[in-house]
Every structure is written in structure tokens, then in C-alpha cells.
Structure 1
């Protein structure tokens, strides 16, 4: 397919982005061209938009942003066998090589030769995207397209929640950003008995409440450890899901965590943090998991079933559904933290 398409492009190494016309990408023999219906804005896209230190060291301009999407197959390469024109699809965004040690031992999400869609290659804030067949996911037709576009970040939330089983456990989520809010619904679905959520934004705490949180706490005015211990009969929580990237929140979580508990960490600190390993981790016999990406594709299978069955309804977490042309409104809300998940309607607008 040839011609022009609309795309949101990081044109220059500075704050901002431009909605402009570019060429429709060509595809290789093992690639699929997808016409995008919906794409959602991620924190990574915000980093690229504001042009923080990470983006400056990673992104080469001009660059098409975005990596979370749902759409339909428009064209397939000559060696593609698993997909056909019209299939309803999304994509794993960690593009793995398939031949390194990690790929051979079941950890392709941390492939040594990893490329990330929308970071290392052209992304999904566009009318069309080219992706390798090996990372394409065929969606359940019963899942609304807007929901299907958030399966990638929902997979992050799922793997953070399920590093170990949460059934019958008490859980503290530190950070009620979009993924933290999705984690609340997932933890509830998997049997968590009490869910505590902390954030500095009352707006986002309200979103967490709507997704099933039992207690929402603002560190600027609430005694996190005190409330947790009061509500857990002095025990503390069994599980902490760290979604904020805040050093202060990490310490609050570790203090609220019962000895023998576990912390799963997805939030990304902007700089190195200091943790008292002796007293906060070792003497408490804490298990800490670092989470990145999703298990390919077992996590996708679970997320798809949760959405198709409506066991998890992400609607409260999706606060904005905007036309592609209104992307700036969504990006501004993400920068300000006055939103949950922001979804852009690319096709049919």
C-alpha cells in the first residue's frame, strides 16, 4: 500500500509534537500493515513529548510516537501465515529477536536485542503501522476496540499483580496512575481481600475507588502505615504494588509491608533511590520483583479473557476518548495528571 497518512511526529529534539502527513510505511515479507482504530497514550509517550532526559538519550527525531493500539490488518507480507486482511489485532510492543539467551529461556520480554514499538521504531499514533507477525495478537471480537487498545498496559498491571498469587491477600498499590488503577481492578478480580491505594492526586484516588479500592489514602495528609496497620489488625499488607516511581512511596510501602511479604515494582524512578536493605528488606525477608513488559503471550491471553468475560471492566479507568485531532487535549491531561487512560480514535473519526 502506498500513499500518505496522518501521524503524530516528534519532529525536533524539544518539547512538543506535530500532527502531520507522512508516508504509509512499507512492510517486509514477515510484517503486517495494520490500519489503526484506537491508540492510547502511555507515560512513555509523555516522556517523549516533554523531551525529558530519558527521551533525549533514547529517541532519534523525527519519530512517530505511540505503541498501544487496536486495529485491523490492511496488508500482509508474503511470508505471513497467521493473519489475513480484516483481522482485529493489537501488538506486543517488545519486539524480541527470538535467538538470544533470554528468548530461549522464556524471557523474551527482556530480550538482549529488544526493540520497543514507538521508541526504537515507528509507532502507533498514526493511521497505519507496520509490525512483525511474531508480535501481533489476534483480538477477541467481543472486546470493544477502545478496550483492546489498552491491553498492553493492562498486561503490565497484570504481571505486577500476579508476580505471586493475591487470592486472600491484603494489597497496597502505591501510585494511582492509569496502570495503578487498572491493577486495582485486576487484584480485585484475582481475589485480593483488602485493597489500599495511595496517591497525591484525589482525582486519581477517586478513579481507584471506582475500580474497587477499599481504602484510598493521600500521603500529603494521611498516615499510610498507621491506617494500613489499623485495618489489618497490626499485621501490615501482604503485597505492595509499587506503581509510582517515587522513593518516598517505596519507603511507605516497605514500612506497611508485613515481614515475609512481597513487593512488585513497575514504577520508574527518574534517578537512583536509596533503600535500607538491612532493615527494610533483609531482616523482614521481603521478596522484591522488578516488572517490565508482559509475558509473551501468556499475559495477553489472560488480559483478553478478563476483558472478554467482563470480569474486569476498565471503563472507569478510561477517562478520555478523543478524536485523533484532539491529541493535544489528551497529552495535556496526561502531563497534568488529570486523567486516567486516554484513548485516541484514529480511524472513523
Structure 2
């Protein structure tokens, strides 16, 4: 039996590097050799046991932001060949429940995602349905390709928010929030405002995309948004932190008739206090977006191919697979780290942040 190295989450706060069997694929699956797998904020949630649904899946090889090459093809695979550079839609809805049948697969009653509920990319290999595979063109570097999955999540949120041209957008959170801001700018939003407490991340947001940045340690973010919007409030506010307090701020800074896009995932027991009267008398709106799915992958690849979105400056470090747990903790401690890529192929870390 052939084996591979994999980081297995055996219990909250404990990854164990193991030799496990290389996944056996069915006729409808392909085996992908992992080049990079990015660390997502939700990986910290899985690691710490923040999400009860994911704790129920332990032991598990997590990691859902993966990119690699096809190692093995199932007999029914079409349009693919060994060695192709690929990314994969990580979503596996059941296809037969009420939500799937009415075109809402992200709300599937038995929703599963590779690397979140099923073994994922913090390993040397991962198996996926061949129909979930998307070819990555040569114009997209390996490093950019590792951003395809997080870009799909941002794209889905952008589509749900549906920002109109020349309208103001506030993004709370300057991690993946910088990508949200870039998509808002691509839609013609003005001004684009990014809020965070980290001066290094705010400086990057300003350099890459933001018209204004707000440091919550220096000013009240609600008051500053009102000042920058001439007392009206923002047309759209996207929360990309996952904290009840920042959600409360989002509802305070959005204008009458404006919209809050909920993206950041809070813990199961984290609740925000919001005045329902605002939904009535001020006609404020809210929508949620949990992930990218399906065509979002093709759209994300197009944006990267034509450099409409360039996530490269967000890559802070590349680490060997063996250093996953260490890197997870470093992200929480080192304010300069934004996106860390894990690779089974590298032997020592590469530090890229300034």
C-alpha cells in the first residue's frame, strides 16, 4: 500500500503528521498532487474547535485552498490529462434535497466541503470529483492559483452584495477583506474604505486598492465612515472578520436603504445586537454568503488570468507541510502575516513579507 504524508487534526489544538494511505479514486474522481494549500481563517476555527459541525468530522485532514497537478485519472474523466495544472471546486452538495433542487446548492441539507468536512489539501495528495476540476492556464502562476478558492468565496459575496457603480463600499477586515475591496473597486465602487486594527495590513490595503483606510485604534470607525460619506453612511458594508461587535458596527455605519453583506463567520455562541426597527423604518438590508461554488471557479480563474485581481502581495510566507501547526499559531501572533501557503514540496520556509 502506497502512503503519503498528511496533517491529521486528531482533536482540537492538535495536528499529527502521519503516513496515511494515498486516497483510492473511483471512476468519477481524480487524484491531485498538492503544490500549495493556503491557510484560511476558518482553518483556525477548525483547529480550535470553534465550529461544532466541523469538530464532528475529526479526525480529518483539513485544508481547502489547494492547487496542484493531476496525478491519476478516473476512467470517466473527460477533458483532463495527467500533469494538468488544476484547482477544484471543494463543494459537494447532495443534488437531491429541496435546496439543491431549487438552485441553492450552498444551502444543501447534507452539504460537504473538501478540506472542511472531507479530507483535504494539507497532505501530498487529495481526491476530488473530476467534474469539480478546473484547468489553470499558464498565465496564472502557481502562487496565484492557490488563491482561486478564497477568490471564489469573495466573488460569491460580491455577486450577492451586487454593488452598483459609483456607490460606496466599506470592508471591515484587511486580510481577505483586501480581495473583497479589490472586487468592489472592479465593480466601480467609490470610495472603497477598508477598516482594521493592523497598520501593516491597512498600508497594504491602501497601496493595493483602498481610497481610505480606518484604524480602529485611532478613531471610532462608525464616526469616521459617517464623516467620509458626508453623514449619509456607506451604501454597502461587508463584514470580513467574523465578530459580533464588528457586525454591530456594520449595521450602524450602513446608510438608510443600504446593505450589509455578511461574510465573516462567528462562533456558534457569538450573537450581535441589532435593532429590528432599522429593517423597517430605514429599510436596511442584509444578505449572507458562505462560499464559492461552481461557476465561481471559472470566474475567479478569468480574473486572475487577466490580472484584474492580483493577490500576490498578500502571500506572506510559504512553509513545509511539517510546519502547518506552527504556522497556524504564528498567523495569530505575527501581525505581518496575511496569507501563508503550505507545501508538501518545500523543505524550508520562504518568508516574503516586508
TM-score past 0.5 threshold: yes
Please show how residues 144-155 of structure 1 align to structure 2 within 5 Å: 144-155=141-152
Match in the other structure for 2:207:
210
Match in the other structure for 1:198:
195
Task: Give the count of matched residue pairs.
Answer: 344
Quote the offset at 1:56 in angstroms. 6.9
Match in the other structure for 2:174:
176
CA distance in 1, matches of 2:167, 2:81: 43
Quote the offset at 1:204 in angstroms. 2.7
Match in the other structure for 1:262:
259
Match in the other structure for 1:103:
100
Contact 1:184–1:211 (Cα < 8 Å) also in 2: no
CA distance in 2, matches of 1:106, 1:337: 41
Match in the other structure for 1:44:
42
More deviation in 200-209 or 39-48?
Answer: 200-209
Quote the offset at 1:31 in angstroms. 0.7
Stretches of structure 2 lacking an aligned partner (at least 5 in a row) = 348-354
Does the residue aligned with 1:121 lie in a helix, a strand or coil?
coil
259 and 337 in structure 1: CA distance in 2 versus 1, 3 angstrom threshold: farther
Contact 1:118–1:124 (Cα < 8 Å) also in 2: yes
Contact 1:38–1:346 (Cα < 8 Å) also in 2: yes
160 and 124 in structure 1: CA distance in 2 versus 1, 3 angstrom threshold: same
Contact 1:229–1:235 (Cα < 8 Å) also in 2: yes
Stretches of structure 1 lacking an aligned partner (at least 5 in a row) = none
CA distance in 2, matches of 1:54, 1:302: 32
CA distance in 1, matches of 2:224, 2:103: 40
Does the residue aligned with 1:17 lie in a helix, a strand or coil?
strand
Match in the other structure for 2:271:
273
329 and 205 in structure 1: CA distance in 2 versus 1, 3 angstrom threshold: farther
Contact 2:196–2:216 (Cα < 8 Å) also in 1: yes
Map Cα deviations across residues 58-97 of structure 1 (whole Å, 9 max, x no partner): 3322x21211111111111122224221221111111122
CA distance in 1, matches of 2:274, 2:201: 29
Map Cα deviations across residues 191-231 of structure 1 (whole Å, 9 max, x no partner): 11111111232333233223311222222331222222222
Quote the offset at 1:30 in angstroms. 0.8
CA distance in 2, matches of 1:86, 1:109: 30
Does the residue aligned with 1:188 lie in a helix, a strand or coil?
helix
Quote the offset at 1:272 in angstroms. 4.1
Quote the offset at 1:134 in angstroms. 2.5
95 and 56 in structure 1: CA distance in 2 versus 1, 3 angstrom threshold: closer
Query: Cα RMSD between the aligned structures?
Result: 2.0
TM-score (norm 1): 0.91
Q: Which residue among 222, 226, 237 is the counterpart of 2:223?
A: 226
CA distance in 2, matches of 1:254, 1:200: 19
